[in-house]
Structures are given as C-alpha cells and as structure tokens.
Amino acid sequence: MSVMLADQLGKMTGLHVYPRSISQGEGATYYLARDGSHRLLGILGEATGFEGTPRGDVRLCPLTAANAAVLRERLPWLRPQPLGLVRSVGCGDRLGLATPGHVRAVRQAGGIAPIFAQQSIRENARTGRASREVVDDAMWGVFQEGWRAPWGADADHLKTLDALDDCVAAGYSFFTLDPGDYVDASAHAAPLSALSSKRDALPWKDLETNPADLQAAYLGQSFHLDGGHSLTFTEETLWRAAGKYGHAIAHVLRLYRRLASQVRDFDLEVSVDETETPTSPLEHYFIANELRRLQIQWISLAPRYVGRFEKGVDYIGNLVEFEADLAMQVAVARTLGPYKLGIHSGSDKFSLYPIFARHASGLVHLKTAGTSYLEALRAIGGSEPGLFRDIYQLAFERYAQDRASYHVSADTSLAPPLRSLRDADLPGVLDQFDAREMLHVTFGSALAKYGTQLKESLEVHEEAYYAALVSHFGRHLRPLAGGAN
C-alpha cells in the first residue's frame, strides 16, 4: 500500500518518494522525497507552520531546524526519548547521512534499542556541526525509514556545564557525563606516602562526606556481589580509589544536579573509559557506591576495561584476562544497580561481543562512532575512486597531527601505499589495520577539505552506503541481540 501511495505522491511533484516515510497526522500526509541529490519534506493537506513552497496540491519544504521542530509536534514518534534499562546501541554519525542505514541494521537484528543521534562535543567541533543539527539529522533518517519504536539521542562525553546546557536545549534524551579530566591517574601507583596528601586534597564538601565516614563505610567488611563474588577494601586500596576518582565523582555530581534541575526524564551514563589506567572491579564498586550514596540515578556506566580499545579496530589484549575481569565488572553492576555496562570505542570489537553477551546479557550499551564514517569511505571507494584516493592521501599527511587526541597505534609505513592500489582494491583498504585507523582519526581534516564532495557523492549513492552499514552493523548487533534478557 505504501509503495502505491508513494507512486501517487511522486507523480504529483515528479520526485522520488521514500515509501516508509509516508505518515498521517493532524489532517495531512507527510513524507520524504528526493529532488536530485537533495531531500525534501512533502506535505499533502494542512501545512500551517511549515516553511516551504507549493507544487500543485503539495507543499515541499526544506529540511530545516524549524521544519523539524514543527514535524516533531505533528509526529511525536520523531522525538528522542529515554530508553531505560534495555540492551542498546549508540550509532554515531559524523556525516548526518547514516541513520537510514542504522535503522535498517537495527530493524534486521532485532532485540536492541537504538540511539540514532550520538555525537561528542569534540566530534562536533571537528565536523562543524551543532548539537541540534545532530538530533535533526537523525530525526530525518528516522522519518525516512518509518521507525516508530522509541529511539534516543546521546549527548556524548559531556565535560562542562555549558556543553550540558547546549545539549539540553537541543532535546537530547541520553546524557553521557565524562569526568575523565578529573581522574587522578597518578593515584593508581603513587607511593603510600603520597596517598595521604591526595586524601586531604579531595573536595570533601562537594562529596558531602569526610575521611572518617568514608573509612567507616568501606573498611572492615566484605562486599558480597552477584554470582558469589566478593570484594574487600584495605586502607590502601580505599585511598587509591578515592584519590583516583574522588574529584571525578564530585564533577559528575555537579553536572548531574544541573541536568536534573532542567530535565525531568532522561537516561544518564557515567563514563571513565578515556583514562590512562584500567578501572578495577574494586574501583568500579567505589565509583558506583559513591554515586548511589549521592543519590545520582544512572542507567549505564562505562569503566576503562583492561586491554586496548583503539578506534575502529578489534580489541587488542588477552581475551581470557578480559573475560575474567568483565565477569567481576558485571557482578558489580548487577549488585549496585542493575545498570548497563557501556562499551565505548565499541565499534569493530568483534571478539568481545560474544563475551559481553555471555556475561552481561542485556546489561549492555554499545557505543559506536567512526565506524559509520569508515563505511561511508568504503562506499566511496567503490563509486568515486578518485575522491577516495584524495581522502586516503590526506590521511597519510594528517595522521601524525590528528591522532593526538586518540588512543591509536597505526603506522603509516605499514598502510597500503596508494601507488600499489587498483581502483578495485580501494574498498578493501578499509580492512587493513593501519589504513583503517589513519582514515578514522583524520575524519576532521577530510571533512574540512572534501566534506561537500563526500556528502554529495553519498547522497547520489545512498543505497550503496546503506547496504554497507547494514552489513557492517549486523556484525556488531547480532551477537549482542542474541543474548538472553
């Protein structure tokens, strides 16, 4: 029926109509259509409040922020909303074009709730996008594919009150608080003589406790965890944990109270993954127990796991060690929550998804970002080889500088040299470790120089891009979606 109606609507304007987008509401039919390389909102019927121009009986409207806001009022399922304690995936989209592919992948996998808008302030700075734009771009993709189930929008890696306020105004539903700048990594291995000074320097007033009460809460007892595990603090391990994470917990409290004063219903994630040293199960327990004491309500926590979680490539480390550590992390999350464990830098960690499914079951939030950009490059490699070669050459030139804020280990001398590559080989470059990381972290430079050309090409070859996303995200989602609740 929707295909027939799409044909009828298309004949009215001479445009291609996306059948899944056709929606009824408030005396009008709404749909998304394509005019060459651009998409437009079509409205048949009452169109008060929308900016656009008539074409026969239809009003055609640009995909502006103002039109997005009016459409969300007409079609409430286009609003991001909290997802709660369900297995979930965050689908970062640095180009603003990937959501239809994400929707198809999530729909195909089943059993996992999506966050279709996800971007950090750092990534927005590099892509030149605003927080509201990220939400709107995802919304248009949700509309295009007719996704009617709940979906979320993640204000990722928030570090400041100003950034938090900006994302609240933009309508996000999931807020990832990142106090990593306040984590004192030196406490991890500081000599015992230094721990007392770190203890004294903690922001006790902000933490709403004191050293004596903290010792009374943790020392002289065993903490029994789900699954028969237990943890015991010594005076040394307590003050190492407090010294390492005390300032970070105080910062989370500041951000949380600001957020709770502005938004009534939201999902919260606390992230300490971008730190120098792993978060031990004992430290995880300390963080979560202190958050609970301070009456912070959260849905997900992302520790810094053992091993290396580099961008866009599989896990680097000992899988046996990781599995043993994860079992304890899950036990803490089940005991003090339950809450989800965040998998940050989670894209392409194919060796870990079955382990998470075995131990965490549904208590998982997988966070991906750059992998969707890399699949865009794969599609470009197959359709616009000249453009791909330009972007790849730029990666060689910019990698040394652009890698500064990322945990990556690519070596440009090991990446396939351009001169040796035939056009048919270009999509396969994305499967080589060093080239993949180089292309991943130089996305900001690539978009600054080739962004317009790249996006226009993807608009023309959108189905190739969606197909690449469905295939790639299927490898992420199937192992996790298959786990029991």
Bridge partners (DSSP) of residue 300 are: 269, 340
Q: What does the DSSP assignment read for 267-300? A: EEEEE--SSSS---HHHHHHHHHHHHHTT---SE
By the 10 Å C-beta count (0-12 exposed, 13-18 middle, 19+ buried), 193 is classed as exposed
Q: Is 269 known to be catalytic?
A: yes
Helix H or strand E encompassing 23: strand 23-25
Query: Could you give the CA distance from residue 147 to residue 149 in angstroms, rounded to a whole number?
Result: 6
Options 123, 145, 156, 310, the catalytic residue: 156
8 Å CB contact between 123 and 178: no
8 Å CB contact between 396 and 415: yes
Options 154, 269, 273, 290, the catalytic residue: 269
Task: Give the 3-state secondary structure of residue 155.
Answer: strand
Reading the block at residue 24, the tokens are 């009824």
Residue whose structure tokens are 């009022």: 73
Query: Could you give the CA distance from residue 273 to residue 287 in angstroms, rounded to a whole number?
Result: 13
In terms of Cα–Cα distance, which of 470, 314, 483, 283 is closest to 378?
470
Reading the block at residue 112, the tokens are 């996992």
Strand residue runs (E) in 159-253: 174-177, 222-224, 230-232
8 Å CB contact between 371 and 436: no
Q: Is 314 known to be catalytic?
A: no
Reading the block at residue 398, the tokens are 């910019």
Catalytic residues: 156, 269
